[in-house]
Amino acid sequence: MEKAQLHLEGRTYELDVVIGTEGEKALDISKLRDQTGYITVDVGYKNTGSTYSQITFIDGEQGILRYRGYPIEQLAEFSTYLEVAYLLIYGELPTRAQLEDFEERIKARTLIHEDIKKFFDGFPSSAHPMGVLASVVCSLSSFYPESLDPYAPDEVVERNIIRLLAKVPTLIAWIYKKRMGHPYIYPRNERSYVNNFLYMMFGMPTYDYEPDPHVVDALDKLLILHADHEQNCSTSTVRTVGSSRANIYASVSAGICALWGPLHGGANQEVIEMLEMIKADGGNVQKWVEKAKDKNDPFRLMGFGHRVYKNFDPRAKIIKQAADQVLNALGIHDPVLDIAKKLEEVALSDPYFIERRLYPNVDFYSGIIYRAIGIPVEMFTVMFAFGRLAGWLAQWWEMRRANEPIVRPRQVYMGPGLRDYVPIAKRG
87 near ligand ACO, judged by CB under 6 A = no
- List all residues 6 or more positions away from 242 whose beta carbon is below 8 Å from its beta carbon: 248, 251, 396, 399, 400
Among 356, 401, 402, 409, binds ligand ACO (CB under 6 A): 356
According to DSSP, the residues that pair with 204 across neighbouring strands are 207
The pair phi, psi for residue 270, each rounded to 5°, is: -65, -35
Contact track, ligand ACO, 285-304, x by CB under 6 A: -------x-------xxxxx
Among 264, 317, 320, 400, binds ligand ACO (CB under 6 A): 264
372 near ligand ACO, judged by CB under 6 A = no
Query: In 3D, which of 316, 217, 218 has the Cα closest to residue 271?
Result: 316
- List all residues 6 or more positions away from 183 whose beta carbon is below 8 Å from its beta carbon: 177, 204, 205
310 near ligand ACO, judged by CB under 6 A = no
The least distance separating ligand ACO from the CB of residue 267, rounded to whole angstroms, comes to 3
Report d(CA 125, CA 29) in Å as an integer.
49
Q: Which stretch binds ligand ACO (CB under 6 A): 160-168, 189-197, 258-266, 398-406?
A: 258-266
Q: Which stretch binds ligand ACO (CB under 6 A): 121-129, 273-281, 357-365, 392-400?
A: 357-365
319 near ligand ACO, judged by CB under 6 A = no
Kindly determine how many residues on this chain lie close enough to bind ligand ACO according to the rule CB under 6 A: 18
363 an active-site residue? Answer: yes
Length of the chain: 428
The least distance separating ligand ACO from the CB of residue 330, rounded to whole angstroms, comes to 25
The least distance separating ligand ACO from the CB of residue 263, rounded to whole angstroms, comes to 4
305 near ligand ACO, judged by CB under 6 A = yes
Nearer to ligand ACO, 211 or 265 (CB): 265
Question: Nearest-CB residue to ligand ACO?
Answer: 305
Among 15, 358, 369, 385, binds ligand ACO (CB under 6 A): 358
The least distance separating ligand ACO from the CB of residue 363, rounded to whole angstroms, comes to 5
According to DSSP, the residues that pair with 153 across neighbouring strands are none
Among 307, 310, 341, 342, binds ligand ACO (CB under 6 A): 307
65 near ligand ACO, judged by CB under 6 A = no
The least distance separating ligand ACO from the CB of residue 268, rounded to whole angstroms, comes to 8
306, 333, 334, 420: the catalytic one is: 306
The least distance separating ligand ACO from the CB of residue 358, rounded to whole angstroms, comes to 5
Apex 201 CA angle, 102 and 379, nearest 5: 100
324 an active-site residue? Answer: no
Nearer to ligand ACO, 106 or 375 (CB): 375
Nearer to ligand ACO, 203 or 265 (CB): 265
Q: Which stretch binds ligand ACO (CB under 6 A): 95-103, 335-343, 354-362, 395-403?
A: 354-362
361 near ligand ACO, judged by CB under 6 A = yes
Q: Which stretch binds ligand ACO (CB under 6 A): 12-20, 198-206, 263-271, 334-342?
A: 263-271
216 near ligand ACO, judged by CB under 6 A = no
The least distance separating ligand ACO from the CB of residue 258, rounded to whole angstroms, comes to 10
Active site residues: 306, 363
List interacting residues with ligand ACO (CB under 6 A). Answer: 263-265, 267, 292, 300-307, 356, 358, 361-363
